[in-house]
Amino acid sequence: MVGATGKTGGHTAELLLERGHHVRALVRRVDERSERLAGLGAEIVEGDVLGLDSLAEATKGIDALYFTYPISPGLVDATVNVAQAAEENGVQAIVNMSQISARRETASNAARQHWVAERVLDRFPVAVTHIRPTFFAQWLIDTWADGTGELRLPFADGRHAPIAESDQARVIAAILEDPAPHAGQIYPLYGPVELNHYEIAEKMSRVLGREVTYVPISLDEFRTILEKRGAAEHLIQHLLAVAIDYRNGIFAGTNDLVKTIGGADPLDVESFTALNRASFDLHTA
Ligand SMILES: NC(=O)c1ccc[n+]([C@@H]2O[C@H](COP(=O)([O-])OP(=O)(O)OC[C@H]3O[C@@H](n4cnc5c(N)ncnc54)[C@H](OP(=O)(O)O)[C@@H]3O)[C@@H](O)[C@H]2O)c1
C-alpha cells in the first residue's frame, strides 16, 4: 500500500488487517503512524514511491495495491513507477486514488495530472480501478481548524455530498479483495446527501451544539488564508481552480457505490460530525 499513513490509506490498512489480510505499507519514514500500523499487524517497508527501486522491492510478492499520493508535484512520476513496479512483480490489481475533478481540460494542474495518471495506468496490463471522490468530510475538520465557528470557503452556494475517508476505505478494501469485477472502472464516490455549505453548517451546529456559520468568500481571500496556513503553490493553484469547479457543479452528485461495493451506507454530515466531535472540540479549545 502506498499512502498507508495517510487518511484513506490508514483506514484501508486497518480494515484489511481486521479482515485478516497481510498488509505491506510503504512508508517514507518510521514514525508514530507507521508504529501504530505495525502494532495492528502491518508489515512496514521504508521507501519512496518516487524511487523505482524501493517501490519495486516493496511490491515483490503482493497481489493488489492501493495507490494514493498527496496534492504535491510528482504524481505522474509516482504513477509511472507504480505501474512499472506492479508489472515487474506481477501485481494483479491497483486501486488508484484520483478525484472527481480529474479531466483533461481542467484548470487545476493537480486534477489534470490525476487524469493523465489514470490514462497512464490504463495502458499497463494490470487490473486498474480509479476512484474519483468528491471533497472528503475531513475538510470540515480542517476548515474548522481555527475554531471560530465559521466555515470561510469560496464555494458560493455550490453543493456536494461529503464522503468520509472510512467509507472510501470500505470501497477500496472491497475492490482489493475482489478486483476482477472492478477492473477498468472509474468510480465517482460521494457521501449520501448533497448539501450546500449553509446546510452543512446548520447540520454541524445542531450536532456540536454551537453556532457554525458558512461565510462564502472570494478566491482572493481564500488564497490569502491558504498562504497564511503555509500551503504550497501547487496546492493553492489546485484549490482555487477546483473552487470554481465546485461552484459550477463538478463536485455535486451522489450515488450508491459506497453501499453496493463497500457494503454499508455511508456516513452523512451529522454522523461524521458526531463521530469526530473530539476533533472539532480540540480545535475549539
Ligand atoms: N481531500 C479531499 O477532499 C480529496 C477529494 C478527492 C480526492 N482526493 C485525493 O486524495 C489524495 C490524497 O489521499 P489521502 O487524503 O488519503 O492522503 P493523505 O492523507 O494526503 O496522505 C498521503 C500519503 O502518501 C504518503 N506519501 C506522500 N509522498 C510519498 C512518497 N513520495 N512516497 C511514499 N509515500 C508518500 C504520505 O506519507 P507522509 O505523510 O509520510 O508524507 C501519506 O501516507 C489526493 O490524490 C487527492 O487528489 C482528495
CA 210 to ligand 1 center in whole angstroms: 31
CA distance 169 to 74: 24
- Are 137 and 165 in contact by the 8 Å Cβ rule? The answer is yes
165-204 pLDDT, tens digit per residue, is 999 999 999 999 999 999 999 999 999 999 999 999 999 9
- CA dist 105 and 102 (Å) reads 9
Closest approach atom of ligand 1 to CA 29: 40
The grid coordinates listed for 119 are 490514462
Query: For residue range 198-248, what is the model confidence (pLDDT) as tens digits?
Result: 999 999 999 999 999 999 999 999 999 999 999 999 999 999 999 999 999
Q: Are strands 24-27 and 213-216 parallel, antiparallel or unpaired?
A: unpaired
Q: How far is the CA of 6 from the centre of ligand 1 (A)?
A: 6
Q: What is the pLDDT of residue 143?
A: 83
Ligand 1, atom 17, lies closest to the CA of 6
Q: Say what the pLDDT of residue 152 is.
A: 94
Closest residue CA from atom 35 of ligand 1: 3
**Grid cell for residue 3:** 499512502
The long-range contacts involving 48-54, CB below 8 angstroms and separated by at least 24 positions, are 49/2, 49/78, 49/81, 49/82, 50/74, 50/77, 50/78, 50/81, 51/81, 52/81, 52/84, 52/85, 54/26
The answer on pLDDT for 140 being more than 60 is yes
Average model confidence (pLDDT) for the chain?
96
The full DSSP string for 58-125 is HTTT-SEEEE---SSTTHHHHHHHHHHHHHHTT--EEEEE--TT--TT-S-HHHHHHHHHHHHHHTSS
Helix (H) or strand (E) holding 24: strand 24-27
C-alpha 72 to ligand 1 mean position (Å) = 9
What is the pLDDT, as a whole number, of residue 284? Answer: 64
Measured from the Cβ of residue 183, the count of other Cβ atoms closer than 10 Å reads 14
CB 24 within 8 A of CB 46: no
Q: 87 alpha carbon to ligand 1 midpoint, in Å?
A: 23
Q: Tell me, in angstroms, the distance from the centre of ligand 1 to residue 209's CA.
A: 32
Using CA positions, which residue lies closest to atom 12 of ligand 1? 70
197/231 Cα distance (integer angstroms): 23
Q: Which residues contact 18 (CB under 8 A, 6 or more apart)?
A: none
Residue 145 has pLDDT above 80, yes or no: no
d(CA 118, ligand 1 centre) in Å:
16
Mention the CATH class of domain 7-134+164-190+253-262: alpha beta
Please, which pLDDT band fits residue 142 given cuts at 50, 70 and 90? confident
pTM: 0.97
pLDDT band at 281 (very low <50, low <70, confident <90, very high): confident
Q: Quick one: cell of 183?
A: 477492473
pLDDT at position 280, please? Answer: 84
pLDDT in tens, 240-277: 999 999 999 999 999 999 999 999 999 999 999 999 99
Top mutation candidate among 52, 55, 68 for ligand 1, by most atoms within 8 Å of CB: 68
**Domains of the chain, residue spans:** 7-134+164-190+253-262
> Distance from the CA of 256 to the center of ligand 1, in angstroms?
24
Q: How confident is the model at residue 146 (pLDDT cuts 50, 70, 90)?
A: low
**Percent of the chain whose predicted confidence (pLDDT) is above 70:** 98
Residue of 69, 114, 167 with the most ligand 1 atoms within 8 Å of its CB, for mutation: 69
Sign of the CA dihedral running 104, 107, 112, 115: negative
**Could you tell me the pLDDT band of residue 285, with boundaries at 50, 70 and 90?**
low
Residues with CB under 6 A from ligand 1: 2-3, 5-9, 26, 28, 48-50, 68-71, 97, 99, 133, 135-136, 139
Pocket test for ligand 1, best of 23, 28, 109 (most atoms within 8 A of CB): 28
Q: Cα(169) to centroid of ligand 1, in Å?
A: 13
Q: Ligand 1: which residue has its CA nearest to atom 34?
A: 3
